[in-house]
Amino acid sequence: MPATQIAQGLYVVKGKFVDDFGFIKSYLFIHNDEIAVIDPGTAGHPGEELLNSIEQLGYSPRQNVVAIVLTHGHPDHAGGVARLKKATGAPVMIHEGDAPILEEPGRFIKERLLLDAAGRLAMKVDRTPLRVNYRGIKPDRLLKHGDDLRIGGTSFRVISTRGHSAGHCVFYSPRLHALFSGDEVNNYPNDARKFFVDLSGSLSARSVALKSLSKLTIEYLLPAHDTFHLFEDIGLQFTGALAGIEEFQDAVLQVINAREEADVQQIAFDIIQGRGVLIPTGHHALLPTTISVALRNLTEAGLLREHEGVWTAV
């Protein structure tokens, strides 16, 4: 499948479609014969399609790709980095908060998901886009909030969001009015209310970031999963994402208030049974992980207290 042009210099390259994840895809930005690849995808997808697309557009992967840029270090975004680096020689750039899981991918399983022994064993044979089946790579540049990336003379502002993961950032071009949003605005296809965060993430940071990003002039919202969003549709995505955070936190509080006390697994069971809120799917660890982050944020806000893994309302 060739690259699809979104606007002048902006292209999307799609890999396969995966239930709950949408299309595994990457973006190309091209200006003055310089190319940036944003989020290379998994170890398999888009994979060769990226290199083929660059050549079909009349460019050389080795000569024209000047940057491999990651919104964050999860396997469905970073799994293809080493392969692309080998093919292009381009520098790899990621926020310092997610550099550790780019260098040592196994740390994603050990440190970023809430897993018991059975869960860790299951991850070894995992077939979803979160599968860790690739070698780590040391980044060439660590990104920080406020950094300026220049591709062919076009400036992209690095904005650290820290919601979906500790090292999640987005890239905004004031000239193009384009935002490469990774997984921070739209984490799942078709509904911005549905999301997950890893254990290093923060729902409060995500909420602050979404409110700030929604004030930017954005005509092209370019999330890492499934479809991109244009013009009037963009405001709806921010509204839905913010509503999803509020609904999820309310669901956690409702379970604890109804039961008077509960642990993570009990909360997860009740939320699944209640079916009153959209929840992360596609991997059994995503919901308990996101609940754990919500509990931490709600405790920090003074709404809950924890004792030996059990939460009660204040």
pLDDT tens digits, residue range 56-77?
999 999 999 999 999 999 999 9
Collapse the DSSP code of 92 into the 3-class scheme (helix H, G, I; strand E, B; otherwise coil) and give the result. Answer: strand
CA 191 to chain centre: 15
Rounded to an integer, the average pLDDT of 33-41 is 97
Confidence of residue 127 (pLDDT cuts 50, 70, 90): confident
Q: What percent of the chain has pLDDT over 90?
A: 81
Number of Cβ within a 10 Å radius of residue 8: 8
CA 162 to chain centre: 10
Q: How far apart are CA 69 and CA 83, in angstroms?
A: 14
Average predicted confidence (pLDDT) for the chain: 94
Strand pairing class (92-95; 65-69): parallel
Indicate whether 200 pLDDT > 90: yes
Indicate whether 16 pLDDT > 70: yes
Q: How far apart are CA 272 and CA 146, in angstroms?
A: 39
Indicate whether 281 pLDDT > 80: no
* Chain region(s) in the chain for CATH 1.10.10: 248-313
Confidence of residue 116 (pLDDT cuts 50, 70, 90): confident
The per-residue pLDDT for 182 is 96
The per-residue pLDDT for 2 is 78
Indicate whether 20 pLDDT > 80: no
Rounded to an integer, the average pLDDT of 286-304 is 96
Instruction: With residue 122 as reference, give the H or E element that holds it.
Output: helix 117-123
Confidence of residue 190 (pLDDT cuts 50, 70, 90): confident
Is 165:98 a contact under the CB 8 Å cutoff? yes
Rounded to an integer, the average pLDDT of 271-290 is 89
The per-residue pLDDT for 87 is 96
Out of 3.60.15.10, 1.10.10.10, 1.10.260.40, 3.40.50.300, the CATH code matching 4-242 is 3.60.15.10
- Could you tell me where the DSSP H helices lie in 219-314? 232-259, 264-274, 286-300
Q: How far apart are CA 77 and CA 95, in angstroms?
A: 13
Confidence of residue 24 (pLDDT cuts 50, 70, 90): confident
Indicate whether 158 pLDDT > 90: yes
Indicate whether 289 pLDDT > 70: yes
Rounded to an integer, the average pLDDT of 29-47 is 95
Cα angle at 81 between 67 and 56, to 5 degrees?
Answer: 65
Task: Look up residue 202 and give its two tokens.
Answer: 């923060």
The per-residue pLDDT for 1 is 65
Q: CA-based diameter of the chain, in Å?
A: 63
* Chain region(s) in the chain for CATH 3.60.15.10: 4-242
The arrangement of secondary structure in 248-313, i.e. its CATH architecture, is Orthogonal Bundle (1.10)
